[in-house]
Amino acid sequence: MSRNTITHTTVFTLSIAIACSLMVSAAVAWLRPVQERYASIDRDRRVLMAAGLIEAGADASAREVAERFEAIEVRLVDLDTGRYTDAADPREYDYLAAADSETESVEIPRAENTARLGRRAPYMPVYVYRDEGDLERIVLPVYGRGMWSTLKGYLALESDLETVAALSFYEHGETPGIGDFVEQKDWQARWRGKQAYDEQGRPALGIAREPLPADDPARRYKTDAMSGATKTARGVTGLLQYWLGDDGYGPLIERLREEGDAS
């Protein structure tokens, strides 16, 4: 029968391949905007949770998120100067893509590279929550290498820019059952009230390397050691040190403390 000739087989296979790829591309092109809208709602929801404006774990609807998010001001920060910049739309700016780009990214000095990132974006978006004009909380995106994966999260500071309001991670690929404590709410709640900097103004926030006595002064900055997950814990400490340091949000935090947050 003719359907088993080489010509028919080739033409038939090619047509099926083309038809299927058209179908898949059409579906992707049509659904992409919807997916992106969900991704941005998801991000806003995480920022609101970090800022304490919606309860962690609460199932806030898309509309609720949009309403609450109006209280948040998104600014783009030039990490070198710590000043706000209008170089890009802070809502659209993709700092992970910028960090990967050869032309845009900035090399992180070796001594500062505790988050083990290598390069970073020149700017970072920050989320400022104001109550009657005064800075109430600021939410800073943070990320860095853990044991296997890049940990991505948000660090929220209180209005004194010293006290931690919240630390949460929303994406990681650490070992299930060992390093995945970073996503647990109980663990994230431990950070509340810790101090980000020591008396000399150096970034001190992190996870203790070993169990600390109850009266140890380091308890002001450190949460309890995590047994069995040394590398993940070191990664968390490393990324906090980096983002609170001079190459991270250090200049911004210093400037906000001195000048207030008027741009």
Partner 1 sequence: MSDGRTLVDPIVDNNPITMQILGICSALAVTRTLFPALVMSAAVIAVLAFSNVAVSLLRRQMPHAVRIIIEVTIIASGVIVVDEFLRAYLPDVSRILSVFVGLIITNCIILGRTETFAMGHGPWQSLLDGIGNGLGYSVVLIAVASARELLGAGTLLGYPLITVSEDGGWYLPNELMLLPPSAFFLIAVIVWWIRVVRPAQREHTVMSAPPSKFQEGD
68-99 residues labelled b (16+ CB within 10 A) or e (exposed): bbeebbbbbbebeebebeeebebeebebeebb
**Residue closer to partner 1, measured from CB, 25 or 101:** 25
Number of neighbouring beta carbons within 10 Å of residue 178: 15
**Residue closer to partner 1, measured from CB, 4 or 103:** 4
- Cβ atoms 156, 167 nearer than 8 A: yes
- Per DSSP bridges, beta strands 206-207 and 222-223 are parallel
- Per DSSP bridges, beta strands 150-158 and 164-171 are antiparallel
Stretches 35-43, 130-138, 162-170, 243-251: which one binds partner 1 (CB under 8 A)?
Answer: 35-43
CB 31 to partner 1: min, Å? 4
Q: Which of 35, 61, 101, 263 binds partner 1 (CB under 8 A)?
A: 35
**Residue closer to partner 1, measured from CB, 17 or 218:** 17
CB 7 to partner 1: min, Å? 10
CB 9 to partner 1: min, Å? 4
Per rule CB under 8 A, is residue 184 in the interface with partner 1?
no
Stretches 19-27, 96-104, 157-165, 178-186: which one binds partner 1 (CB under 8 A)?
Answer: 19-27
- Cβ atoms 136, 130 nearer than 8 A: yes
**Residue closer to partner 1, measured from CB, 18 or 87:** 18
CB 191 to partner 1: min, Å? 25
**Residue closer to partner 1, measured from CB, 33 or 109:** 33
Per rule CB under 8 A, is residue 186 in the interface with partner 1?
no
| Contacts (CB under 8 A) with partner 1, residues 104-163 | none
| Contacts (CB under 8 A) with partner 1, residues 41-100 | 42
Per rule CB under 8 A, is residue 14 in the interface with partner 1?
no
Determine the size of the site formed for partner 1 (CB under 8 A): 20
Q: Would you say the C-alpha torsion 96, 101, 104, 107 has a positive or negative sign?
A: positive
Query: Taking Cα atoms as reference points, which of 125, 150, 110 lies closest to residue 239?
Result: 150
Stretches 33-41, 94-102, 139-147, 210-218: which one binds partner 1 (CB under 8 A)?
Answer: 33-41
Question: What radius of gyration, in Å, describes the C-alpha atoms of the chain?
Answer: 23
**Residue closer to partner 1, measured from CB, 11 or 96:** 11
**Residue closer to partner 1, measured from CB, 82 or 153:** 153
DSSP-assigned letters across all residues of 159-213: TTSSBEEEEEEEE--PPTTTGGGGG-HHHHHTTTT-BSB-TTS-B--EE-SSPPP
Number of neighbouring beta carbons within 10 Å of residue 193: 11
Q: Which residues bind partner 1 (CB under 8 A)?
A: 3-4, 8-9, 12-13, 16-17, 20-21, 23-24, 27-28, 31, 34-35, 38-39, 42
